[in-house]
Amino acid sequence: MRKPLIVGNWKMWGSREKAKNLVAGIVAQDSDEMVDWGVCPPFPYITQVLEQVGCDRVGAQTVSADVDVPHTGDVSAAMLADLGIRWAIVGHSERRAERGESDGIVSQQLRCAIEKGLTPILCVGETFEQREQGNEERVVRSQLEVALAGAEANWPLVIAYEPVWAIGTGVVAEPHQVQAMHAMIRSVLSNLGISGGETPILYGGSVKPENANGLFALDDVDGALVGGASLDSEAFLAIIEAARSAKAA
């Protein structure tokens, strides 16, 4: 069975003090080896967080698509690997929409991360309009096919299905919508030659302690990418606990 994975995406929130207290709150109470978890802090706080929890529990929120070029402000996969951190989120819808990161750029970011030994967390998901038009599966399939073209079976990979309309809105996708999409993602991965049965597929978009049980009960949901609720240690721990009890059931 795939081990549940809960990843916190802190986005552009926090301060040195808040990051320290948040991580301390999680570590103090987490004793659950049945669930894997980690956090993706803003870049300035990555080092202090990994000193608190170890690099296996830390990811970056993005990574440069380029290698050895003079790009002011960018952070390369080599630098992240130098810190020893484990994951890099690529393709988050906020970066696709607001930073112009196309499927092609996402594909390059993913390759840069893998090349340096990081595990990419590839985010995919449709907008509200795309779902209204019945295009959600076509959109997600295409995002996967472009990002993962030429993938090798042994690439380390996590997929996060994040419907754009559910991110930060408090509107969580219905269980039947999530299960249908996750099952499709698994079959697309298998068709691309990636071990679909082994790849963790997370759901993201307004995950909270109150809705986590229903999501984690679904066959093809292996955990969550959590934004807002990951900024509160009690809520984040409650989501970890929901994953544990759903998968133990």
Residue 129 neighbours by CB distance under 10 Å: 10
Q: How many residues does the chain have?
A: 249
Query: Pattern 57-86, binding to ligand PGA, x per CB under 6 A?
Result: ------------------------------
Helix (H) or strand (E) holding 119: strand 119-124
**Assigned token pair, 166:** 């559910």
Question: Catalytic site residue 92?
Answer: yes
Residue 227 in contact with ligand PGA, rule: CB under 6 A: yes
Helix (H) or strand (E) holding 46: helix 46-53
Closest separation in Å from C-beta 69 to ligand PGA: 28
Residue 228 in contact with ligand PGA, rule: CB under 6 A: yes
CB-based contacts of 92-97 (< 8 A; 24+ apart in sequence): 92/9, 92/61, 92/62, 92/123, 92/162, 93/123, 93/125, 93/162, 93/164, 93/167, 94/11, 94/167, 95/62, 97/164
Nearer residue to ligand PGA within complex by CB, 60 or 229: 229
Residue 14 in contact with ligand PGA, rule: CB under 6 A: no
Residue 178 in contact with ligand PGA, rule: CB under 6 A: no
Amino acid at 52: Q
Q: Determine the angle formed by the axes of helices 175-191 and 136-147, rounding to 10 degrees.
A: 40
Closest separation in Å from C-beta 76 to ligand PGA: 23
Nearer residue to ligand PGA within complex by CB, 196 or 204: 204
Which is the catalytic residue, given 94, 126, 162, 241? Answer: 162
Q: Which of 56-64, 101-109, 184-192, 226-234 is the region at the interface with ligand PGA (rule: CB under 6 A)? A: 226-234
> Alpha-carbon distance 121 to 227, whole Å?
14
Question: Catalytic site residue 162?
Answer: yes
What's the distance, CA 130 to chain centroid? 21
Residue 88 in contact with ligand PGA, rule: CB under 6 A: no
Residue 9 in contact with ligand PGA, rule: CB under 6 A: yes
Nearer residue to ligand PGA within complex by CB, 196 or 205: 205
Which is the catalytic residue, given 92, 94, 182, 241? Answer: 92
Phi, psi angle pair for 241, to nearest 5°: -65, -40
How many residues in the shown chain lie near ligand PGA by CB under 6 A? Answer: 13
Q: Which of 52-60, 68-76, 134-142, 223-231 is the region at the interface with ligand PGA (rule: CB under 6 A)? A: 223-231
In this chain, which of 60, 90, 114, 225 binds ligand PGA, going by CB under 6 A? 225
Q: Determine the angle formed by the axes of helices 103-115 and 136-147, rounding to 10 degrees.
A: 40
Residue 5 in contact with ligand PGA, rule: CB under 6 A: no
Q: Which residues does the annotation mark as catalytic? A: 92, 162
